Amino acid sequence: MTYTPKSFFGRPVTAARRDGLCIDETFGPVDKWHVLDALTDARAALNLSHTDLAVLSALLSFHPTREITQHPAPIVFASNKALAGRLNGMPDSTMRRHLTRLITAGIVCRQDSPNGKRYVRRSRDGQVARAFGFDLTPLIQRADEFDATAEQMRQQAADLATLRETVSLMRRDLMVLGQDADEWDELLETARTGLRRKPNKAHLLTLKMALQDALNIVDQQPDATEMNSSARQNEQHYQKTNKDTSDLKEAENKAVPAPNDRQNQQEVHVTLQQVIATCPTIQSYFPDEMRSWHQLENSAVKIAPMIGVGNDVLIKLHAALGGTQAAIAILCVLERLTTIANPAGYLRKLSQKASAGQFNLLNLLKTVEKHVELSADNRNIHTFSAA
């Protein structure tokens, strides 16, 4: 009968180490890679790091079969040099630290030899008679526990993802239905920043309750705005400069028609060729010929995130100007991007002016046209007039 030592060579036998000793019970074989997958999903609950699991994976790679069984004892006796080789040259001190973490967590246990070395003693027929090193038996003993913990963590992750989606949808609804009220701006901004951070269940639940209360108030208002939508989904590549924004602000100051012109601004007619000739930068992103306003609108929606225009700004811009004029406004901002420090803020102000009946598309185009170098062939194209 093989004797199982109760102490470790050159190491004190603490309570934690004694708890980590392999228990002499009978358990069925397990798939070592299945157990590693379960430990990966249960990593947070077991307080394991990615590096801990990488070291465990290296240990498992030295076990000759896919299945781990208790007989013969699943002991890995590879040297530190061999382990480091499979860990892409990890320093010995780092590797030993993570091996200790695996032992403390009860993932593996030690079977030390009399002199503390790792080695194997074989029988005359070449079979392993006795081995000293890292014992993988805890993986067999705790396989069911690891599976249950992994399933629990997967369910928590799924619930958190569902909660995050719910908060995102509620924020979108409030942004559209309550767009005429400034009282929700702070809540919408808090929700936006909360959704961009690492998901936190408590914070998301608080946001969900706050958004639900706000939506209940908006639903009770008789003039709730009809739902709109946008294809813009991601905010990235925010391009900021310190140059003056007076060129396009000049268009804002000129674009102040009489109150009854709010309806007429929807009747301004320009050709697609005029818009492309005035805002040729769009062709650097989409070199194919623009054949329809629908194609232009889709291109503008794709350009918006590249210049730092968020989903909330895009929705309000479409609601205030309509799809075509919103697309033209985005192209104008793209054309003068080097002189606009805050594209999203500029378009937000245009939305406010349009809602107040103070937006004039022709003045905006004329302002952009001043700064475009025209060739002799296209100089006569840019004559904007209201139908």
pLDDT, position 16: 44
pLDDT digits (tens, 9 = 90+) for 56-113: 999 999 998 999 988 788 988 888 899 999 999 999 999 999 999 999 999 999 887 7
Distance CA 64, CA 67 (A): 9
Q: What is the pTM of this model?
A: 0.50
- What average pLDDT does this structure show over 287-313? 86
Q: Is the Cβ–Cβ distance between 362 and 275 less than 8 Å?
A: no
- Over 80: is that where the pLDDT of 246 sits? no
Which uninterrupted H or E stretch holds 122? strand 119-122
pLDDT digits (tens, 9 = 90+) for 210-238: 999 888 888 887 553 444 434 334 433 43
pLDDT digits (tens, 9 = 90+) for 121-135: 777 777 776 788 899
Distance CA 114, CA 100 (A): 20
Tokens read off for 164: 């995050």
Q: Is the Cβ–Cβ distance between 84 and 115 less than 8 Å?
A: no
pLDDT digits (tens, 9 = 90+) for 3-23: 566 555 445 545 444 544 454
* Residues in contact with 113: Cβ distance below 8 Å, sequence separation at least 6, in sequence order: 9, 119, 132
